[in-house]
């Protein structure tokens, strides 16, 4: 028999993946000062001061959430307040009751009517691998240009005789 209290799903935020253990939650009575790293989706309804990194996951700041931190995540959804620069590899959503003061760097952004935002937005293109040039086309181009250059110089040399 386990001595751990049973989790009440009524108080947990919905998981984007639908599976148990795929997201973590910080309640509205929790205050954290320092660095926060996570390898799963995170729902914050409390207060965080410092830095937050969820590089491959989604951060949701709940309606009671108050963040005074630099934030880096794959996706960020703001329902509460963030004071600090935010960077999302995929998308940032600022919902209608939310407040974000800081600079944003992202690929995609949604700011709902009624949301408060103060700062700058840097929309970046997703990183794409450059296609290598075809080897035959690259080798043929210099040979053609040197062949075209040889006859005029040869003709000019004969004309000088």
**Residue pLDDT, tens place only, 70-84:** 999 999 999 999 999
| DSSP state for residue 142 in the 8-state scheme | H
User: What is the Cα–Cα distance from 26 to 32, expressed in whole angstroms?
Assistant: 9
- pLDDT grade for 11, boundaries at 50, 70 and 90: very low
What is the domain partition of the chain in residue ranges?
9-123
What is the arithmetic mean of pLDDT over 55-64?
A: 96
Tens of pLDDT along 107-141? 999 999 999 999 999 999 876 666 666 676 555 55
If one counts every other C-beta atom within 10 angstroms of the C-beta of residue 62, the result is: 19
Tens of pLDDT along 87-99? 999 999 999 999 9
- pLDDT grade for 23, boundaries at 50, 70 and 90: confident
């Amino acid at each position: 028999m386990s001595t751990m209290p049973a989790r009440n799903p009524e108080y947990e935020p919905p998981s984007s993946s639908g599976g148990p253990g795929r997201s973590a939650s910080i309640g509205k009575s929790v205050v954290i000062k320092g660095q926060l790293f996570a390898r799963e989706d995170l729902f914050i309804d409390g207060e965080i001061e410092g830095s937050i990194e969820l590089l491959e996951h989604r951060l949701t700041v709940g309606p009671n959430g108050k963040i005074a931190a630099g934030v880096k995540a794959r996706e960020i959804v703001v329902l509460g307040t963030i004071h600090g620069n935010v960077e999302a590899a995929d998308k940032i959503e600022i919902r209608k009751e939310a407040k974000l003061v800081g600079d944003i760097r992202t690929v995609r952004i949604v700011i709902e009517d009624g949301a408060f935002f103060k700062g700058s937005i840097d929309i970046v293109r997703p990183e794409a691998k450059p296609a290598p040039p075809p080897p035959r086309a690259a080798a043929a181009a210099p040979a053609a240009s040197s062949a075209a250059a040889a006859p005029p110089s040869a003709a000019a040399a004969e004309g000088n005789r």
